[in-house]
Every structure is written in C-alpha cells, then in structure tokens.
Amino acid sequence: MNVELLADEVQACFSEIHRDVFEGDPVSNPNLRVEVVAASEAGPGPVVVVVTPWTVNAMVFPVDTAAEERLPATFRLAGSARRVLANEIEGLGRYLSVNLIPDVSTFTDQDEARAAAAEMGGVFLTQLTAAWEEGSVENPSRRDLFKRLGGGPGSPEPETPSPPRSAEDRPPSRRDELS
C-alpha cells in the first residue's frame, strides 16, 4: 500500500467528516484543521497520525486479520491506557485507531497541535513497533513460550491436583485447638 496515497485519502476523508459532522460543533476547536502529521510503514501495516479539530488519532491499517489480532488491546500513552478501537470508513476501509490526544481544546493553533501530535505519534510508533516485535513468532523466546504453552518439547509436565486431605492428614487448625 502506498503510504503517501493513504495519507492523502485520510486527509480528504477526515476533512469531509469535519465539514459534515464537526464544523461548528462545540467539541471542535476552531483553531485547528484536519492535517495528516505523519505517515509511515510499520510491522502490522501503514500508520497515519492525524490532527483533527476534535482529537488526535493514530490510525493503523493492518495488512491482514492476523496482523490485527497480534496487536495489544491498549497502549499506555501519557500515563493512561488508550484502547485500540476498530473502525471502518467507506473509502478508507478497516483500520485500528488509538486516541493519542483526546482533548484538543487547549491548543491555540495548528503548529502547537502538530508538534504535540508528532511527539505522541513517535511514542505510539515506538510502542507499536515493540509490541509487534514482541508478538512475532520469529522471536525465538516467544516461539519457545508458545511451544511450552502448547505442550511441545520443553513444556513442563502438567500438574496433577493433590487429592483432598483427610481429617487425620491435615495440620491442626486454630479451631481444633479451641475444641
């Protein structure tokens, strides 16, 4: 997938959403406009960071369902857990979205929003890359973990539960001492 073309499509799509839904809405910051701040390739697929007058999001376009399923359900950004949400927009297709900056109301201009989005986008991309590499079955330690969990070579013997103790076998309790 051509990342520059995707960035242009995201820009056009979210500009249309702004015009049709958020223009004049009180949650929309009138000092901001829709702008794709970054677009790059990552392990699961293209990633686009977009500033809008109502939020700043990272959008991940997984190359397939398997790539989507390997990603964590949340990312920790700016001290809080940010959920990964699946969405689909006609013209863009299916993507995963992470809200990088939920409240854009305090930004006084586009430059300030762009700088914050670029910084948070960089943090997100670093975490995304680490999560992708950690979840990769090409990672030998991860492969060994799956083998062990799946009962493959090197997996521990399954634990057998101990039979319940009879009254004679169990250690005395405080209740026994009092009776």
Each domain of the chain, given as residue ranges in start order, spans: 3-134
Alpha-carbon span 176 to 161, nearest angstrom: 26
Residue 147 has pLDDT above 80, yes or no: no
Distance, in Å, from the CA atom of 154 to the CA atom of 143, rounded to the nearest integer, reads: 12
On the question of pLDDT at 27 being above 90, the answer is no
Judging by beta carbons within 10 Å of its beta carbon (0-12, 13-18, 19+), is residue 176 exposed, middle or buried? exposed
Q: Which ranges constitute the DSSP H helices of 77-109?
A: none
116 Cα distance to chain centroid: 18
Q: Looking at residue 154, what is its pLDDT?
A: 44
Mean pLDDT, residues 26-46: 94
pLDDT at site 68: 87
pLDDT value at residue 88: 94
Q: How confident is the model at residue 126 (pLDDT cuts 50, 70, 90)?
A: very high
Distance of alpha carbon 160 from alpha carbon 37, whole angstroms: 56
Instruction: Say if residue 122's pLDDT is above 70.
Output: yes
Q: Percent of the chain having pLDDT more than 90? A: 60
pLDDT band with cut points at 50, 70 and 90 for residue 69: confident
Sheet with strand 35-42: strands edge to edge: 35-42, 45-51, 56-60, 93-101, 80-89, 74-77
Q: What is the mean pLDDT of the chain?
A: 80
What is the Cα–Cα distance from 71 to 162, expressed in whole angstroms? 38
The answer to whether the beta carbons of residues 46 and 61 sit under 8 Å apart is yes
CATH superfamily of 3-134: [NiFe]-hydrogenase assembly chaperone, HybE (3.30.1460.40)
The structure tokens listed for 100 are 């990088």
Look at residue 113 and tell me whether its pLDDT is greater than 70.
yes
Whether the CB-CB separation of 86 and 94 falls below 8 Å is answered with yes
Q: Which of 47, 92, 73 is nearest to 135 (CA)?
A: 73
- Strands 80-89 and 93-101, by their bridges, are antiparallel
